């Protein structure tokens, strides 16, 4: 029985990935060729995507490709986090770690990184640096399921978060401050004075 | 007989897997905040919505016509310009999601709590519609 499951799961996954990649490329292609139509589509989409679109039109095609790649990686991550929550696919995605999204600010005297790790157990948050790479990992809190609990929909990821961020050269990696509030981990790294 | 049974099994499994896959893709592409919906026992529903980086004051929870709407705003702070950002991973702007509520929910007994970036909502059925155990004499 197990072997069958694996085989069919793999087939579905492959088909899904091909379709999904095709859709993403088609979607981004549409946005590049007709920007005006998409700006007026809906408030949510506008606010969420317009900031990315304005950065999409850089004069450097290589940069554009990098951005497209980053978007696809983010989408795949989101996909992984969802599949890990479905009981039929749980065996495949048992050891998966999800890369949390982050925002990184370049200020005059420091770098500020805000990582989205909602629902994490404070004691399990681990920040380390090694060779100029910042590594953030955490585990979500396990809520005790009581008897009689049934899930109608389960989309929120519970499991491990892991992200490695290469730091710029002028970041002082021995002097890192961090705080966790409202599901967001804020990391402040001072810059070296020249 | 065996072949028929196992092929039916397989088709239903593949269909199930495909529909779950479709759900996952819809979730990912729609940019909606993720939510868990569950039933605690036959009289209580639980909804958890993931809203990282949002402050409690910026969340709006509204129930209207049998729909529960959760909306939140994340703004760029005024003193920071967009050029300062190295990388923008999480979206700014408006987030919103609507849940269709079952008919027998008591509107006055909705509890909401916001903790660590996650909104916890619990809903109860109206007294008259609650499930009751009947004793046998």
The domain spans of chain A are 2-89, 97-190
- Which residue in chain B is spatially nearest to A145 when comparing CA positions? B40
pLDDT digits (tens, 9 = 90+) for A113-133: 988 888 888 889 999 998 889
Q: What CATH fold (topology level) applies to the domain A97-190?
A: Immunoglobulin-like (2.60.40)
Q: Mind telling me how many Å the CA of B84 is from chain A's nearest CA? A: 5
Identify which of A105, A104, A109 has the alpha carbon closest to the alpha carbon of residue A194: A109
DSSP string of B65-124? TTEEEEEEEE---TTS-GGGEEEE-S--EEEEEEEEPPTTB-GGG-EEEEETTEEEEEEE
Name the token pair of A44.
């949510």
Question: In angstroms, rounded to a whole number, what is the distance separating the alpha carbons of residues B52 and B44?
Answer: 25
State how far residue A48 is from chain B, nearest Cα, in angstroms: 6
Residue A123, helix vs strand vs coil: helix
Contact: B89, A13; criterion CB under 8 Å: no
pLDDT digits (tens, 9 = 90+) for A23-62: 888 777 766 655 544 444 455 555 555 555 555 555 667 7
> pLDDT tens, position by position, for chain B (137 residues)?
677 777 788 888 888 888 888 888 887 777 788 888 888 877 888 899 988 778 888 899 998 888 889 988 776 554 445 555 555 555 567 888 888 887 788 888 889 999 888 899 998 888 887 778 888 88
Flag whether the pTM goes above 0.80. no
**CATH code reported for the domain at B32-129:** 2.60.40.790
Rg of chain A over Cα atoms, rounded to whole angstroms, equals 20
């Amino acid at each position: 029985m197990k072997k069958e499951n694996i085989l069919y799961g793999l087939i579905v996954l492959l088909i899904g990935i091909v379709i999904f990649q095709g859709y993403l490329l088609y979607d981004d292609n549409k946005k590049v060729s007709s920007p005006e139509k998409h700006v007026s589509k809906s408030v949510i989409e506008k606010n969420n995507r317009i900031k990315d679109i304005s950065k999409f039109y850089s004069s450097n095609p290589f940069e554009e490709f990098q951005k497209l790649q980053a978007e696809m990686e983010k989408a795949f991550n989101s996909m992984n986090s969802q599949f890990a929550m479905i009981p039929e696919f749980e065996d495949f995605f048992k050891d998966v770690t999800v890369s949390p999204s982050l925002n990184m600010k370049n200020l005059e005297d420091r770098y500020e990184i805000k990582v989205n790790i909602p629902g994490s157990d404070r004691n399990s948050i681990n920040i380390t640096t090694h060779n100029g790479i910042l590594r953030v990992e955490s585990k979500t809190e396990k809520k005790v399921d009581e008897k009689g609990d049934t899930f109608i929909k389960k989309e929120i990821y519970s499991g491990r978060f892991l992200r490695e961020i290469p730091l710029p050269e002028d970041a002082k990696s021995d002097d890192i401050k961090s705080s966790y509030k409202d599901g967001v981990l804020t990391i402040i790294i001072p810059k070296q004075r020249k | 007989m065996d072949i028929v049974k196992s092929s039916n099994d397989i088709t239903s499994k593949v269909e199930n897997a495909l529909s779950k896959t479709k759900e996952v893709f819809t979730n990912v592409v729609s940019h909606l905040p993720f939510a868990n919906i569950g039933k605690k026992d036959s009289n209580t529903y639980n909804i958890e919505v993931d809203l990282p980086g949002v402050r409690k004051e910026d969340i709006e929870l509204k129930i209207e016509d049998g729909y529960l709407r959760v909306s939140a705003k994340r703004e760029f702070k005024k003193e920071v310009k967009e050029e300062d950002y190295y990388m923008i991973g999480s979206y700014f702007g408006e987030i919103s999601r609507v849940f269709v509520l079952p008919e027998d929910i008591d509107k006055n007994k909705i509890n909401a709590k916001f903790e660590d970036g996650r909104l916890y909502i619990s809903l109860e059925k109206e007294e008259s519609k609650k499930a009751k155990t009947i004793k046998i004499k």
